[in-house]
Amino acid sequence: MSHDSDYFYDKAKKQGYRSRASYKLLQIHEKFHIFKKNQEVVDLGASPGGWTQVASEKVGNNGLVIAIDKAYIPPLNLKNVDILQMDIMNETISEYLKERYGLIDVLLSDCAPNVSGKWSLDHSIQIMLAERAIKIAEDILKDEGWIVVKVFQGEQFANFVSYAKKVFTTVKLFKPQASRKRSAEIYLIANNKS
Ligand SMILES: C[S@@+](CC[C@H](N)C(=O)[O-])C[C@H]1O[C@@H](n2cnc3c(N)ncnc32)[C@H](O)[C@@H]1O
């Protein structure tokens, strides 16, 4: 583990965040000002809950964070968080969310497959998850809403970015300092503001 990764791991432990990934979202917010008080946020691939904790703080008591993962998310005991154990590939997810929560302000996806070690397989699955997040955003995000999606850079990356540009007017790519330098991950941040 590099010095860099130890630093954010230790910091997360000290500050009570469930994962070092929390700092990636904090750094994304610092740059793009994604969150406002009282918003409704959907957090896809939320386990163990580091991003959910950050979003919960940012939207405040009158906001809501809907944390979704196919894996178990241990209870966070936060009043403004709903936890759902669901697979985002399930075709009925948008309909379910729209019916229960209406349109939302921010869609986050830090989804990643369990790494198999076969790079092209892992990359393909990760791109499929990222595309799925955009599809869900098309279904449930308010017109002026924001999306933040993890994506692995590889052979399908350019096509994915082109697809995002067809859906959103403003598309940015950002690698937070807390993201390990050797990791292929980068975050796509988009909305429909000019
Ligand atoms: C890098 S972790 C997320 C870390 C989280 N953002 C945090 O801050 O604690 C990626 C997550 O994506 C989830 N995931 C992968 N495929 C999924 C799917 N099809 N549906 C829902 N969650 C999925 C995994 O179960 C895993 O928990």
Domains and CATH numbers, the chain: 21-191 (3.40.50.150)
Mind listing the pLDDT tens digit for each residue in 97-122? 999 999 999 999 999 999 898 999 99
CA 160 to ligand 1 center in whole angstroms:
19
Average of pLDDT values for 19-26? 96
Query: Does 51 belong to an annotated binding site?
Result: yes
pLDDT at residue 194, as a whole number: 60
Mind listing the pLDDT tens digit for each residue in 121-135? 999 999 999 999 999
Within a 13 Å sphere around the CA of 146, how many CA atoms are in the beta-carbon half? 19
Mind listing the pLDDT tens digit for each residue in 83-92? 999 999 999 9
Average of pLDDT values for 133-161? 97
E strands, 45-194, where? 64-69, 81-85, 104-109, 141-152, 170-174, 185-191
Mind listing the pLDDT tens digit for each residue in 158-167? 999 999 999 9
Within a 13 Å sphere around the CA of 189, how many CA atoms are in the beta-carbon half? 18
Active site residue 11: no
User: Which residues form ligand 1's pocket by a CB distance below 6 Å?
Assistant: 18-19, 21-22, 45-51, 69-71, 87-89, 110-113, 129
Instruction: Given the residues 13, 150, 166, 181, select the one marked as catalytic.
Output: 150
Pick from 24, 50, 37: nearest CA to 189: 24
CA 182 to ligand 1 center in whole angstroms:
20
